[in-house]
Structure 1
Amino acid sequence: MTASTNNLLPKLRMNSSGFTLIELMVTIAVLAIIVSIATPNISSQLANQRVKSTTATLLNALKEAKAESVIRRQEIKLSYDNDGTNAGTIEIENASEVFDTYQYDARSTIKSTASQIEFKPSKTADAMVYTICDSNDSASPRQVVITAVANISSQLGGSCP
């Protein structure tokens, strides 16, 4: 009786070791389905992050321009340039010199009624609304609002063509 049990164990070991080709193919198919579901969410999250980053860059530049106008007692202009292939640029300048330059991702775009805003030493500015969009249409646009008394705020909203 023990002899027949000893002969059975090596056969079981040989039959149950490793995975079959079908098991591996099913596992790979399930992984492929999960990845295909997750990919659009990841790309829209990255696009939203680019919009947030560009918004933060614009906010910092606007706040710096506002502060420079008060400190220097001069009119300070902030302008932006959406360069489609390279990073976009934001410049802070007065009549004679450029104080600072910021860059943002080329896939993000800034839109407004005018390409520059002017901050005055009397703590006023041109009222303006900037809309930040991304090349990925699934990203949520953001707006930066500057009031006539130079209050700067950010919010979700706006429309991107």
Structure 2
Amino acid sequence: MNASANNLPMKQQMTSSGFTLIELMVTIAVLAVIVSIAAPSISTQLANQRVKSTAATLASALKEAKNESMIRRQSVTLSYDDSSKPKVIKIAKADTSTIASYSYDSKSVIKSSKTSIVFEPSKRVDAIASYTICDLSTSTVPKQVNVSKLANIDIRTGGSC
């Protein structure tokens, strides 16, 4: 028996095995609804990750400033500039020469009553400091980086933006 396309009935030859335009439009509409539900959650996740990253960068810079002051046996100043592009955390010696600098995300904001802190070689700081890290774009859970008088550095969830 010869099973070629020429021997099939005319109705079977005319039908197509592809998708109709209606089926494709329904599928795209369903995908659009799913994406619109998931998008706000993803943007909040990204903003929270930016806050965590900036808090970790600040804590690392504070620890490096503390260690540099002990190694060099001189005062070391850590300062940040939220208005510059890119945003920078800078570690400097007493003669204002830069030891290290860290950049952080432009959507992150560091809030504190002091923009600089001095680490002394005696493992102390000039004043207790608390830095609150927030995100500009969305309402995220802020992080706080605290520095005690004995230069202990810790990161906590909390604070207000």
After superposition, give the CA deviation of every residue in 1:66-104 in whole Å (9 maximum; x if it has no partner).
0011111111110000026x2211111122121111111
3-state DSSP of counterpart to 1:17 = coil
Opposite residue 150 of structure 1, the aligned amino acid is A
Distance 1:65 1:76 in 2: 6
Supply the distance in 2 between the matched residues of 1:45 and 1:128 (Cα, whole angstroms): 28
In 1, distance between residues paired with 2:74 and 2:23?
A: 73
**Distance (Å, rounded) in 2 between the aligned partners of 1:136 and 1:41:** 13
Question: Cα 1:13–1:46, aligned 2, differ >3 Å: closer, same or farther?
Answer: farther
Contact 1:59 1:152 in 2 (8 A): yes
Match runs of 1:7-156 below 5 Å: 8=9, 11-12=11-12, 14-15=14-15, 17-83=17-83, 86-96=85-95, 97-125=97-125, 126-156=127-157
Give the conservation status (yes or no) of the 8 Å contact 1:70–1:120: yes
Gaps of at least 5 residues in structure 1 are: 1-5
Deviation at 1:138, TM superposition (A): 2.6
Residues 78, 93 of structure 1: 8 Å contact kept: yes
The residue type paired with residue 133 of structure 1 is C
TM-score, normalization by structure 2? 0.88
CA distance in 1, matches of 2:78, 2:52: 19
Which deviations, in whole Å up to 9, do the C-alpha atoms of 1:17-56 show, x marking residues without a partner?
1111111111010011011111111111111111111111
CA contact under 8 A between 2:74 and 2:94: conserved in structure 1? no
Calculate the aligned-residue CA RMSD, in Å: 1.5
4+ aligned runs moved over 6 Å, structure 1: none
Structure 2, gaps ≥5 residues long: 1-6
1:95-137 C-alpha deviation (Å, 9 max, x unpaired)? 2121111111111111111101111111111211100111122
